[in-house]
Amino acid sequence: MLSVRDLHVHFKVRGEGFFPEKRVLKAVNGVSFDLYPGETLGIVGESGCGKSTLARALLNLIPATAGQVVWLGRDMSGASSADWQAVRKNVQMVFQDPLASLNPRMNVLQIIGEPLRTHRPELPASEVLARVKAMLVRVGLNEAQLYRYPHEFSGGQCQRIGIARALILEPKLIVCDEPVSALDVSIQAQIINLLKDLQKQLNLALVFIAHDLAVVKHVSQRILVMYLGRVMELADKHELYADPKHPYTRALLSAVPIPDPKLERGKQIQMLSGELPSPLRPPTGCVFRTRCPHAFERCAAEVPALEAVNERSQAACWLYR
């Protein structure tokens, strides 16, 4: 359904002083993956690793510097606004902050109905109203809330409205940019279960971005691990959690809390040495080498490509060459 090849997103940053040096921030630096119908691809990594930038570049909300985004066999590189307008009928996004992503001056009917007015202007008002009512019930709200405004809802309810807005066009793909990070744990579970149920009903493909590795495991079939704009590992979720290949993935998983107090006290956390490097001055070779306990000379000299370690796992690491 979606094929991403060597995607780059760079930003020019102005330096300080009288003669500022021109610098480039490489937020996304050569990301590649495929996504299939009905599949969920989880994307994880530290803050600042490029997850949200990648999500926006997939929808052309941020222009890509280089690389390809191929949607249903169609290369969208250099596509016009009209071309993207047609594609966005099938590709929608759920944003991180549920309240900030809704227009405070529009009521629920206007918010959820807006995509229909944009992409299906031929629909009569009665049909738009009927579809909005049906979608509102589908996401766990009710028709009595149609004429309320975003400030009258809780965070979880606002996220349900955002999901309803994304689903109203019956898209094939939804990009979820940390959709539960601003919500309470109990509300997170409700939203996650809602997304999974809707995915089964509508055969949706999801790109699911999150910090919480337990949530990503619950939602995804495959998981992509990012660090400083690059892919460190891409694997089936069972393979990744049972036998992580990349040292960075092992460190991330070792920090996940275990609900059993005895197991939690006995586990070994793999602490990373040093600070996260600046994306304006990333390390040469493998970007993780300055914090990697297994780094050797080749890591500083060459950038490892993302290659297959076995049938269900790929890693960008010289340990497997």
| CATH classification code of 2-90+171-320 | 3.40.50.300
Position 274 pLDDT exceeds 90: no
pLDDT (mean) for 146-152: 94
Give the containing element (helix H, strand E) for 300.
helix 297-301
The phi, psi pair for 76, rounded to 5°, reads -95, 5
Helices and strands counted in the chain (H then E): 11, 12
Give the containing element (helix H, strand E) for 126.
helix 125-138
Q: What is the pLDDT of residues 181-219, one digit of tens each?
A: 877 787 888 888 888 888 888 889 999 998 888 888 889
Euclidean distance between the first and final Cα of the chain, in Å?
31
pLDDT (mean) for 219-240: 94
Calpha distance 179→215 (Å, rounded):
11
Calpha distance 42→195 (Å, rounded):
13
Q: What is the pLDDT of residue 184?
A: 79
**Which is it for strands 22-35 and 2-14: parallel, antiparallel or unpaired?**
antiparallel
Is residue 53 a contact partner of residue 45, using CB atoms and an 8 Å limit?
Answer: no
Q: What is the pLDDT of residues 22-58, one digit of tens each?
A: 788 999 999 999 999 999 999 999 888 999 999 999 9
Position 254 pLDDT exceeds 80: yes
Portions of the chain given CATH number 3.40.50.300: 2-90+171-320
Q: What is the pLDDT of residue 214?
A: 81
Q: What is the pLDDT of residue 244?
A: 92
